[in-house]
Amino acid sequence: MLGEGILKGLAETARNFAGSFVSAERLTTVQYPEQRIAPIEATRDFPFLVYDGADWEAGMRCVACQICEKECPPQCIYIEKSKDKKPDFVGKPQFYPARFDIDISVCMSCQICVEVCPFEAIKMDTEFELSTEDRFGGLLFDRKELAKPNEHYHKIHPTEAAEVDARLAEEKAKADAKAKAAAEAAAAKAAAPAKTAAVGDAAAKPAEGASRA
Amino acid sequence: MIETADQIFVLLKQWVVGLLPAGLQPVAGVLLSVVAIIAVFPTLFALAVWVERKALGRMQNRIGPNRVGPLGILQPVADGIKSLTKEDIVPLSADAAVHFLAPVVLVVAVFMGFAVLPMGRNMELVDMDAGLLFFFAMGASTELSVFMAGWSSRNKYSLLGAMRAVAQMISYEVVLLLSSAAVVMITGSLSLVKIVEAQNHYTWGLPHWYIFTPWGCAGFVMYAIAATAETNRSPFDLPEGESELVAGYHTEYSGFKFALFFLGEYLAMFSISGLGTTLFLGGWSAPFSFLGWVPSWIWFFAKVMLSIVVFIWMRGTLPRLRQDQLMNFAWKFVLPLTMLNLLVAGLWRFLGDGWERWVVCSAILVLAFAVMGREGMRREHFGPRRYRYAE
Amino acid sequence: MSLVFYAIAGLTVAGGLAAMLLKNTVHCALALTVAFAGIALLFLELDAQFAGFAQILVYIGAVAVLVVFAILLTRGSETPKGGVFSRNWLTGLAIAAGVFAVLGWAVLGSARALPGPGGTPTAAPTVTVLQIGNALMGRYVLPLEIVALLLTAALIGAVIVAMHEKEGAK
Ligand code: SF4
Ligand code: SF4
């Protein structure tokens, strides 16, 4: 008869109502500031800049290539290249960002910057308690605020970070091997009979070339 | 002692009025009652909002508000402060005067309805000969304010919401009036005070409320359906269906004016529950004769709050109707049944006092309900949609 | 007493005038509502509760809403380009005068029918809603039923007008 369904529905809601008082697993609400649940590993919200070692300025992986700046869909990354160079993790001299700002009020958490970065320098963070009283300056993060150690990366995304580390180690090993080979070649050349004049010049040139490769 | 508790508000009013000079007394008496109504019902409104949010939460296995005060009981206060301090935005192209008047008209009209409700023995602002008519007249004026709000906002959602609301309110007002007409036919009076008096008898300790008669029970169900639609409550909340119309006719209202709409909506719920209580649930009379010592006003407010709880329960349970379902339901099912109910009420009146009238009246109503429920509400065959006017 | 009457009468007339003179059609409809409310108040002031509340219920609750519905569903609320005054206003004037004459004749006639000596106001008899109901169902049942029949015919006519397009559109 008409109305049966309504009565059934009413019984169902009544059961929920009463049940929520007696059985704890019905209430799935997490009382957030007091209770927290650990974020799952794939959590991501805004990018941060990874650095190695203790000094964030020296260890920053970013080489200011500005690829991410160009790729960012809402154009919320602002980079200024440095004038001088500093050695990167393989010891090669590289540019570094004199300014690296991300406006997280514009960022849409798309992770494209992470995907395009060839230097594993930018990764997604999980920090979400970012409220501030200054909605313009407070949400424009500069490179100091963005810089976080590699250990932090390991903490929030362990699997991914391990992969990245392995890749970097491999690269470094390769670069080391190359450098070693180059150095050996140079040494061999230098050791060869110094028939020609200007020995020092000849030895210096291949070494420089090797390091640029 | 019992008598004093029952009449405490009446005595209190007489005492306060007695302090004033004789010339002022009639005016002061009315003013005092008005102030009481204006104080009591918004308080109840705050309580109802809290109950609604808590209960809905529990029905959906949530906790509901629990931050402001113990168990979140101060949440309405926080909401009130919030809406009072919010910016009052009027759209640039809105019709400012009408936009401003709409919520005021709504709240005033709704408040007027309370004037004729007997909230306890001797506790009515005015005992009008045509009290029921007055109540419906005031209820009808709210439609216009809804239209004013929707039209003056210059917003398509507002206008659509208002058109829906007005169409719905007109359709269901017919049902509301006709289902109440049965009560008027039996009582022979439009005065709400007389209607309560007529129900305030007991046989074997049980009351003679109209809901305990076949026609009264059917009338109450129809009345409840129409009341839900009149107050735009779920499942008839199409005018403010948030998934399609933002907030319906009050989309463009913010701050205090929005609060007025919100208040008006709940006050309408209270007043229509109050009327339903008065018409079918015996108003302020006790449910058993041995409970007659409990003050009458407690019964009235308990019954009203109970209806509010049922409203909330319905809202937690039912999904929203579609516009055509709404109209079909009103005109093809509820209205014919209400008309039949009028006939049955007439039969009841003339069939004498025996048991026959119980059998005859119940049989007619149950049969009609079953047949119409099966035939009239049969699910239409779904097919490609045909547009009649927009081709 | 008379002050209240003049206030209400002023409101009613102002509402009626605004309904004619305002540019925006919806504003006109709302002004008309004010006029209806004024008339209802006049009834109430004359102790005619039933007529007063019925006026509010029917005119404000239904007719006014119907009017705004009609406006919105047809032309919308924009002001027509050719001005708000109709071209054949003379016909309108004639009809208005005719209606006014009939109403005036009826009102004056009813004053003569009252028991008091011709023209002088008598004390208004107190009429309860019960008496009105009994009169409608007893003495005046025939006019009531005729009006009911007329309204039903109008209703069916409206349905037929609305249904008409169904046959054409396949
Ligand atoms: S996550 Fe997307 S939007 Fe945010 S900075 Fe990176 S590229 Fe830009
Ligand atoms: S974060 Fe990566 S892509 Fe962006 S500038 Fe630095 S190195 Fe280039």
- Give the pLDDT confidence of B267-324 residue by residue, as tens digits: 989 999 999 988 888 888 888 877 777 888 888 888 999 999 998 998 888 888 887 7
pLDDT of residue A108: 92
Question: Does a structural domain hold residue C72?
Answer: yes
Mean pLDDT over residues C124-141, rounded?
78
Nearest-5° angle of CA B246, CA B250, CA B255?
105
pLDDT of residue A205: 47
Question: Does a structural domain hold residue C114?
Answer: no
Contacts of A124 (CB under 8 A, 6+ apart): A44, A45, A46, A47, A48, A109, A111, A114, A157
Mean pLDDT over residues C149-164, rounded?
85
CA atoms lying within 13 Å on the CB side of residue B36: 17
Q: Round to whole Å and give the CA distance between B296 and B277.
A: 13
Question: Does a structural domain hold residue C101?
Answer: no
Contact status of B51 with chain A (Cβ, < 8 Å): no
Rounded to the nearest integer, the mean pLDDT of chain B is 83
pLDDT of residue B391: 47
Question: Does a structural domain hold residue C59?
Answer: yes
- Tell me if A79 CB under 6 Å of ligand 2: yes
Asked whether the beta carbons of residue C68 and residue B98 sit closer than 8 angstroms, the reply is: no
Q: Is the confidence at residue B202, as pLDDT, over 70?
A: yes
Mean pLDDT over residues B334-339, rounded?
89
pLDDT of residue C99: 94
Tell me which residue in C27, C60, C129 faces B144 most closely, judged by beta carbons: C60
Question: Does a structural domain hold residue C113?
Answer: no
pLDDT of residue C167: 52
What's the pLDDT tens digit per position in B113-139?
Answer: 888 888 877 777 777 778 888 888 888
CB contacts, 8 Å: B391 with chain C: 169
DSSP 3-state assignment of A71?
A: helix
Is residue A113 a contact partner of residue A77, using CB atoms and an 8 Å limit? yes
Question: Does a structural domain hold residue C52?
Answer: yes
Range of the domain at C50: 3-79+127-169
> Could you tell me the CATH number of the domain that includes residue C37?
1.20.120.1200
Question: Does a structural domain hold residue C70?
Answer: yes
Mean pLDDT over residues C21-50, rounded?
85
Interface test with A, best of B61, B67, B332, B334 (most A CBs within 10 A): B61
- Does ipTM surpass 0.95 in this model? no
What's the pLDDT tens digit per position in C72-113?
Answer: 777 655 555 555 566 777 888 899 999 999 999 988 887 666
Q: Round to whole Å and give the CA distance between B244 and B171.
A: 22
Lowest mean per-residue pLDDT among B287-291, C11-15, C50-54: B287-291
Tell me which residue in B133, B137, B144 faces C65 most closely, judged by beta carbons: B144
Question: Does a structural domain hold residue C160?
Answer: yes
Number of domains in chain C: 1
User: Which atom of ligand 2 lies nearest, measured to the CA of A77?
Assistant: 4
Mean pLDDT over residues B234-260, rounded?
82
Q: Is the confidence at residue C119, as pLDDT, over 60?
A: no
DSSP 3-state assignment of B204?
A: coil
pLDDT of residue C125: 60
CB contacts, 8 Å: A14 with chain B: 313
Residues of chain A with pLDDT under 70: 193-213
Mean pLDDT over residues B143-161, rounded?
85
User: Which atom of ligand 2 lies nearest, measured to the CA of A79?
Assistant: 5
Contact status of B67 with chain A (Cβ, < 8 Å): no
pLDDT of residue C146: 94
Helix pair angle (C64-73, B131-152), 10° resolution:
20
Minimal CA–CA distance to A107: which of A129, A140, A81, A80? A140
